[in-house]
Amino acid sequence: MREINSGEITRVVAELCVEANLHLPQGMKECITRSIEREESELCKSVLGDIASNIDCADELGVPICQDTGMAVIFAEVGQECHINGSFEDAINAGVAKGYVDGRLRLSIVGDPLERKNTGDNTPAVIHTRIVGGDKIRINVAPKGFGSENMSRLKMFTPSASKRDIVDFVTETVSLAGSNPCPPIVVGVGIGGDFEYCAYLAKKALCRDLAIRHPDPVYAELEREMLERINALGIGSQGFGGTVTALYVNIEKSATHIAGLPVAVNIGCHVTRHAERVI
């Protein structure tokens, strides 16, 4: 049994909160840069150029890529051969508080959804924990801004729904969102599970490397079709019209009930952030 001090978890989470907010994953940066070549609108080419410059400035100056530094979403895989000295969730929240306060990131969390009083340290985080084999802990910090989060949707289809129905729903979701999620966007789609699990899958999909297509060719083809349909909407970067509305679409799927077919769409803006480390 490997002993892990909760203080180490706090330190790593704090560092990841800052890293994710200041430095976009390399694949995302490259995808935005390449999209300038694909974009047919001169105005949107200019907008994409400004977005790319903003990402470079954040890297060089050590400032957040976006003023909305997000709600801290944590995906954690905890090895069953680990023993954590202290409370795991308390350690994560302490790390979020340290990262956001010491890192001078915007504090955006209110403790009660109706009273709306700010907690002052961006906690509590949203924590998703899985117990896995091994003696290590993998932590992925994915700050989520609410300009894009607010545009997300979920629908409980019946099993009679076709693939076309699902593609139509995803495309409609992006169309209704328009410029609100700061396109070009990333689209995470969860298919299957139940009401809450398909939403989890959609958010988890946003953290998958954009270069990796779904291993099942049926779903890989759905990703391709959804991306094509979304980009045909003509929303374009920041809603100025154009041929690049979405950078990529990722689908995650799961088993579901014989009577249902849940589908969730979680939209990420062009600042779809995540940073990962193994302890």
User: Taking residues 172-179, what's their average pLDDT?
Assistant: 98
In the chain, which residues fall in CATH 3.30.360? 2-20+65-144
pLDDT at residue 254, as a whole number: 98
pLDDT at residue 27, as a whole number: 87
Which of the residue ranges 28-32, 175-179, 187-191, 257-261 would you say has the lowest mean pLDDT?
Answer: 28-32
Eight-class DSSP state of 25: -
Q: Is the pLDDT of residue 210 over 90?
A: no
pLDDT at residue 74, as a whole number: 98
User: Percentage of the chain surpassing pLDDT 90?
Assistant: 96
pLDDT at residue 253, as a whole number: 98
**pLDDT tens sequence across 102-118:** 999 999 999 999 999 99
3-class SS of residue 195:
helix
Q: Is the pLDDT of residue 211 over 90?
A: no
Provide the CB-side half-sphere exposure for 278 (13 A, CA): 4
Domain 2-20+65-144 has CATH 3.30.360: yes
User: Taking residues 76-85, what's their average pLDDT?
Assistant: 97
In which band, very low, low, confident or very high, does the pLDDT at 243 lie, cut at 50, 70 and 90?
very high
**pLDDT tens sequence across 20-74:** 999 998 888 999 999 999 999 999 999 999 999 999 999 999 999 999 999 999 9
Residues comprising the chain, all counted: 279
In 67-102, which positions are buried (b, 16+ CB within 10 angstroms) versus exposed (e)? ebbbbbbbbbbbbeebebeeebeebbbbbbbbbbbe
pLDDT at residue 88, as a whole number: 97
Q: Is the pLDDT of residue 275 over 90?
A: yes
What does the block give as tokens for 167? 């593609």
pLDDT at residue 39, as a whole number: 95
Tell me the average pLDDT of the chain. Answer: 96
Model-wide pTM > 0.75? yes
3-class SS of residue 9:
helix
User: Taking residues 224-247, what's their average pLDDT?
Assistant: 97
User: Any bridge partners for residue 246, and if so which?
Assistant: 185
- The span from the CA of 100 to the CA of 123, in Å, is 9
